[in-house]
Amino acid sequence: MKKAPLYSPSPRRVPSPPAPAAAPVSAAGSRWARSKAIALRHERRLWACSFALMLLLGLGLQVTLQRRPAPLTLEKIEAALRASLEEKPLAAAEAQAYEAILPSLVRVVGQSNDVNDGPDAAEHRGVGSGVVIVDSGIILTNLHVVAGAKRIKVTFSTGLESEATLTGVYADHDLAVLKAKTIPDDLPAATMRSTADLLPGDHVIAVGFPFGIGPSVSSGVVSGLKREFRSPEGDRVLTNLIQFDAAANPGNSGGPLVTLDGAVVGIVTAILNPSQQRVFIGIGFAVPIENAASAAGMPPF
């Protein structure tokens, strides 16, 4: 019987150790690797595209700068203002002053008998103007408008009519203070301004009811200051008056003389009239508002 050999004539294979498992590759890493590989393959093309993009951006910026509107100049601003004013002109300064004083303006009628308004009443009444200086219905007017009147009636800018009483007299300045019995709602008082800075040449308006017609407005300038006026009868001399050339006629008496900012600087009181026609010849006089305010018991400016 043949014996089995104790060893194999061919060398025995030693099994090699197993290879370590490969680390898993994430999807993001795979994408990054692929992108990097593509970039390396197309490096020249990418550089060319980047250069072209920068060139296009530069050209776009240049065009934008060239299209920027030119800076405004004084000539362009003036031209724009002229065009705007031509399209919608501003209201005249005189018109704005008139609108400011109108709510405080009143028509004053002094009736010298007990006859009611009618055909015979016109012969017995004086028509003038007045201005509200206190919103409770205190009104300034001329004394000669209401002197000797048995009844005084005032008409406000709203159309409201009211009886009024004489509460103060300042004969040295031909001024009278009235108190209306009935007043409109939200009655505004006029704004008064000192005459300390008033100068010849300053623009003013006279507002009132000349010959009973109105309210009427006329414009002019201050012609002089500290003037003196003697009544035609020679029995009355007024001093420290404002002389002005805005048209004033009988019926303007007691109305306000107003600056273009809408402030009252005087109360129209007389016109110089060397003839018997009683018409305006270019010289009117107003009592400074400081004197008028003192007549109403208001503190001086």
Structural domain of 277? 96-295
The catalytic residue among 129, 162, 173, 174 is 174
In a domain, 83, yes or no: no
Q: Phi first, then psi: what are they for 226, rounded to 5°? A: 55, 45
In a domain, 176, yes or no: yes
The catalytic residue among 104, 129, 144, 245 is 144
Place of tokens 């008056």: 241
In a domain, 9, yes or no: no
Segments of the chain scoring below 70 in pLDDT: 1-33, 35-42, 46, 61-70, 85, 89-90, 114-125, 232-235, 274-278, 295-301
Share of the chain above pLDDT 70, in %: 70
In a domain, 154, yes or no: yes
Q: What is the pLDDT of residue 122?
A: 46
Q: What is the pLDDT of residue 67?
A: 61
Count structural domains, the chain: 1
Q: What is the pLDDT of residue 115?
A: 54
Instruction: Write the pLDDT tens digit of every residue in 233-282.
Output: 656 788 999 999 999 998 999 999 999 999 999 999 988 876 666 677 88
In a domain, 58, yes or no: no
Q: What is the pLDDT of residue 236?
A: 74
Annotation marks residue 253 as catalytic = yes
In a domain, 77, yes or no: no
In a domain, 45, yes or no: no
Question: Is the bond leading into 15 cis (omega within 30 degrees of zero)?
Answer: no
Query: Domain with 239 in it: what CATH number?
Result: 2.40.10.120
Annotation marks residue 144 as catalytic = yes
Q: What is the pLDDT of residue 74?
A: 78
Q: What is the pLDDT of residue 8?
A: 47
